[in-house]
Copies of this chain bind each other. A is one copy, B any other.
Amino acid sequence: MEMPQNTVDDLRLSGGMSVRELVRQLRSSGFQGQNIGIGAEIISEAKRNNAFTFLSFTSNMAASGLRGIFIDLAKRKKIDAVITTSGSVDEDIIRSAFPYLQGSFEAEDEALGREGINRMGNVFVPNDRYEFLESKSSEIFQSIYNERKTLTVSELLDEVGKRMNENSLLYWCSKNSIPVFCPGITDGAFGMQLAFFRQRRNDFIVDGVSDFTRLMGISMGAEKTLAIILGGGIAKHHTIISNIINGLDYAVYVNSSSPYHGSLSGATTSEAKSWGKIKENSKSVTIYGDAAVVFPLLVCATDEFFQ
């Protein structure tokens, strides 16, 4: 066994200190502070080595302030592919036009329901947002349908992006040729509208299968790969299974689930090595925490994101 050499150091905070400096100190402070520091180092090294960067996240992230970071990274071409859930499409379309509201985890849900407010943790979404989404989606589908009858899901989302404004992640992904993969496209309000639209126009074919080969082609073609995976579920799994042939070179997971129940959401970067989804000699870390807090720390600490 190798003896550890590095000391755990006391934090020395100051009034106006930068996030970057805090993360640098957390690196030697212990527990998840240490893991955040490691995560920042991994991302930084991967970016310096021009690793192809997969960003994976769940829809609640797109409903929170993190969406601003995603937009900024896409705008400045710091990410190369997005893998997410259908709900993220909902949140992006709505929030490009209307804000969500700050709520409370302790709200009385039955009363909220009667008031027409949908709760997502401490984020509130009034019903009118979904009414907007429904009409906007239908309008977009009609517009796309007028041009093309057959698309893969990633092509569909690219077309959606072309029809959005600058306050949209899909817009910037589309503009900067960053493909957006969504392996469970129907599972959300956008997907429901898609299913309804298709009932009326059954020559509108959205191919949910071919994206997988496209995505595997991307991962196999990249010289080096980095995956930043926020949260769990299908977005997380799809990111790592798509890299099973070569294995990821760099991986940073941010989980709020624990690994002891066998769920993929709680699965570790270590476990992924047994599958070959992450290379044996990769640099990787699993950070246990709320991505809404951890991801901003990681981003601020990565100089390569701001160059």
Chain A contacts to B: CB under 8 angstroms:
1, 3-20, 22, 25-26, 28-36, 58-60, 63-69, 71-72, 85, 87, 95, 99-115, 117-124, 183-189, 191-192, 194-196, 198-199, 205-206, 208-213, 216, 231-234, 237-238, 241, 256-267, 270-276, 280, 288-294, 296-297, 299-300, 303, 306
A257 to B213, CA, bound (A): 32
A63 to B33, CA, bound (A): 13
A259 to B300, CA, bound (A): 27
Query: When A15-B306, A183-B184, A289-B289 are in contact, do A259 and B121 touch as well, CB less than 8 Å?
Result: yes
B68 to A11, Cβ gap below 8 A?
yes
Q: Give every chain B residue within 8 A of A58 (Cβ-Cβ).
A: 263-264
Question: Assuming A28-B102, A30-B122, what are 6 further A-B pairs, CB within 8 angstroms?
Answer: A13-B299, A14-B306, A109-B270, A110-B274, A121-B271, A186-B211
A211 to B67, CA, bound (A): 30
A187 to B237, Cβ gap below 8 A?
yes
B195 to A209, Cβ gap below 8 A?
yes
A32 to B260, Cβ gap below 8 A?
yes
- Minimum C-beta distance from A104 to chain B (A): 8
What are 29 A-B pairs at a CB distance below 8 A?
Answer: A8-B101, A9-B99, A12-B72, A13-B72, A16-B18, A30-B63, A30-B64, A31-B260, A31-B261, A32-B261, A33-B296, A35-B122, A113-B273, A121-B260, A121-B261, A121-B263, A184-B187, A185-B209, A191-B209, A191-B212, A195-B209, A195-B210, A196-B213, A232-B232, A256-B257, A256-B258, A256-B261, A256-B263, A289-B293
Query: When A12-B68, A13-B72, A300-B13 are in contact, do A121 and B63 touch as well, CB less than 8 Å?
Result: no
- Minimum C-beta distance from A93 to chain B (A): 14
The listed residue (B33, B121, B291) touching A65 by CB distance below 8 A is B33
A275 to B118, Cβ gap below 8 A?
yes
- Minimum C-beta distance from A173 to chain B (A): 15
A205 to B187, CA, bound (A): 20
Q: Give every chain B residue within 8 A of A8 (Cβ-Cβ).
A: 63-65, 99-102, 123
B259 to A31, Cβ gap below 8 A?
no
Closest residue of chain B to A233 (Cβ to Cβ) is B233
